[in-house]
Structure 1
């Protein structure tokens, strides 16, 4: 036998050693990625701060431009025609003062001037100059010609930031703002680009790389930091929102980050050499490699030492159990296989012995419980010893018995190939026992056994409240019955005893549960029958005359739900308080049948549809074996009668509706047409007829008649030349004013407007 366990332990320890090595490598790669992400996020954060700062300044300039455009002095000056009169000169001085105030309010503004297109001069913050002098003063030697500048002044602007030349960044607005396409002047706000560049240059990104501002077409507007080879950057990769990409620039790897401004569509871009933060990554990598080497050296030595130490106990165990193994030692490859063979053989032998003992113990325990329930065990010390030997520990001295009678369970095995009836029954007992024990065991101790083909549950009651405990047992029985019948298709009838205060009361509890179970012949199978229910006999039947009259009225009107509720109430009232004997139960059922037949006597003799149902009912009743079957037949017949009455009632309503509508259409011209007239005509009281029309038509009698009269009036106005007064009489209105008011209410216009086609 090879020392494979030793090698296995050694390999296991080395494998465990590999875990921190792999984790360290993953941490290294993740740290590199995290560091790069942090640098990129830091770049974006600085760009967002720059964007927010400049956007606020540009927004202030836009706001100031709008205020200037709406300034009454500016509007008056731009719209005047004569600029040579003394008043115009005074207005010019006043405008210069205003422009100077606006320019001084914002440190980013270099100067402001308003260029008058038709007069070819401009008003600045200090003077008024002709266009050529104005150009020389502000734009000469800045990379733009006089012609280009003049053309730009003639264009229409909607408050835009424009780069006139490389060093000229201005805000331009056509005046007056109310009519930009026919503007007479252009407002020009010249920005202090040096100050803006200084703001950008103070950023850390500009000190270690470059920061740019691009317009909406990705053309550079302003650059700070390293400017050489800027044109090599592929600005076409810059998208509309924000992002990051890497590329080669000036023989170095750089990271380009950008954010976009919603204020003016510009992009703020940073270009940072990758080597700035790669040095930190290299240092981190060096530390990680040193840590890995230490792990390998120290961990390898420790793994060999621990392997030797852990193997020695296994070697001693192998030497001890080898002579006791019954298997062929030549087929055993390693120490673990040897130990496993020994333990498997020992466990198999022990399991076989335990199963045999447990089976015998269960059989003896079940027989003892059955004898205990039937009162066939000795009392005193012998009983105590028997309870102890069978591990029957009762925590309290209060007991109740639940007895389960198993009915039909064939649907459970309908699709099964197994036809062994005894095995099927054992399986059914197993299902019922396990489910019920689990439900009862939530609140009480429970012990089960089979008695005379039934399953008995001896419940050791834990609670002190007897009323509540009885209700708990009923609810547990209901839950068990619901689960077993719905999921396993096993029909159960359950008898429940009263609670008894000692061991000697257990046989009485069994007798009570058995007596309650026999009552299933009265109320039918699949019931839960507490002994409390049957121990108070009932000597009279509850069937008041008022209830019988209500039931007859419900049947005559075809109200099945109300009739069924009345029948159910009678049954529940009679069986809920005390035991209803078999004789009284049959009497109750036949009283109900007599009431239903009495309710059908008013039907016409030729309506023989119900006669067949009556004969079928009587035939079925003679074949019923329980009260539940009789009750079911009563409900079936009751449904048939009510459906028949309801169908006749619906047929009558349909005929009445057609007759009423036909009569209204034929008598629209009658000014006396009313609900009273209709009620006399069809022999129906007026309130009922009003509700009937509302239910059938969805509107009141007056609304329906008025709408029909308006439709008839529209037809007469389109097809005849009758006057409004003549049409008023033909559609049943007493005067033209009433007709016009009703017509306008439903059509929205007067009859005269309708006839004219307005």
Structure 2
């Protein structure tokens, strides 16, 4: 027996045995490795937690120092004397010496409160003067005092503190009185620019780096790491080492906190970093790996050696038992291969005989399935042509019945159409299938469910027709009076079953009853006509042709309800930006048209496009093209979505969205006009016009000309001004006030209409009644009755 030949056959049972032995071998090995991994992770976490804690202590200590700097900076920022001096013209008048003295005295008083701050001063860029505690001096003198011997030149220093736009931190040094170099961390905070967008000065607070080093020294001594304080530009401000650092390992992630690995002076090290809470500083700690991971490496090596020895011993035993157990099976396979041929061998040795038999059976079953599928497809295609009246002259109906296994028990026929609505939930369940297979499965389920339910009482055959599915039903009952009533429960049960078990939603239409095979195309056309009423009835409905076409003719509307006064009322609501009243008016129009009687589909579409036309006319009537342009910019697909809506409910919802958008735009326009009125000082003038109208509405001569004469302005100007800033025509406003007064008088109930018209400012009763109906939608007499 050749072990190499056995292993070359990847489907051989020896591979299965080998995998089994390897699994048994590696279970304890993996368990040991898991224990080591867990122990290693625990050690690593403890080490990292300790270093994170040390870095957090460093952060807290330094942040406390910075908090003192921030409080001192805020004290100087909030000094009233500083603001009075820096943002005034006292420098031009040369009367600022006393204020400088006062500010210097205030700064001197901060010494006792902020004793840990080494130096601080305020630079006034307008006069090039620096204010220090108790004294002020020219900037050149301060530079010689604080920055003598510094690498920072006088020009660079003045440029730095006089041209800042935001707070910065920098490292500075000088040679002190003893001749030693003294280093500082300077926190520079600029004042807000003046009205000319020029810098007025900066506040500079300096902390001796030795204090910061003393604060962080205990952290570095504990773990032997190097510590760094970095400014916002990732420059080193303070460090406990003189070594230079390569920040490339953390340059991209210093904005957060954490740790990374990298090389530090040729040594693999761990970089721990964290950002200051109250400044833009970052704190960095670099710990060489050889100081931390020595014990961890020893544990790792011991575990690795033990695992290697275990694996080697197990492999030797595995080879021995494989050869011993496979030898008798190999003899059997050599005998069977001589009979079946080597090319017939598939799977492992135990599956060889079983597969030879199963392959033969499967091949026969697949042939039968393909024949059945082809027959079903041919039958579906033939039924589709039968429904459309496109029968093949070479194949009669009588010849097709046995060919396609069709059986018609009577001459009574009916057609059901199924429109598959959004089946997204079903497709999610079948996510493992391709898109084409999903649709095939969907059609297969619908076909089987419908045929199963129909065949309980009648005989039904499903077929795919265009983008719908049709069921040709052969009615077994001889009495056709209640045929439609018997089919509707079947349709409802199918609809409910598909929704409950498969998340498939359908709309169903049922044709009328027909008593001849030649009338099958007519039944199909009736079902199509009924399906069109999905627009009126909505989705997921069962629509019977008899109820739509053969009901009471008085129920079919010859027009729709949308009179001019109702349209004008809706326009007024939209122009006023009153979305609640506009929505209520639109809902009432839909209710009057679709919930009281049946409307023709084409007429329903005309109504909705008429309503859209009203919105567009309203935007045009406002006279501001920006509103119309903004509407179509924000809703570029509004009209297209409306035309593609499949039901009245969808169209109604789309209209509500468009209505709310138009009302929002008009309301925003009115608000802008009000603000403009306020800014232009015209609000008071318009209030005078409104007051004049309310006081003189009963005067029949009140009109735009009378108002213009009263205010000594041209009537056209007064009218345009009123409409531009109120969104409503002046004449419409006069009529609205008069109508409101008329409503009050009508509610009293005992005043004749002519007298009501006169008291409201109308000489002509017909004019009064016409305007009342325009604004309220009903006549004064009807309003009085209500």
The two structures have a TM-score, normalised by structure 1, of 0.41
Larger Rg: 1
The two structures have a TM-score, normalised by structure 2, of 0.40
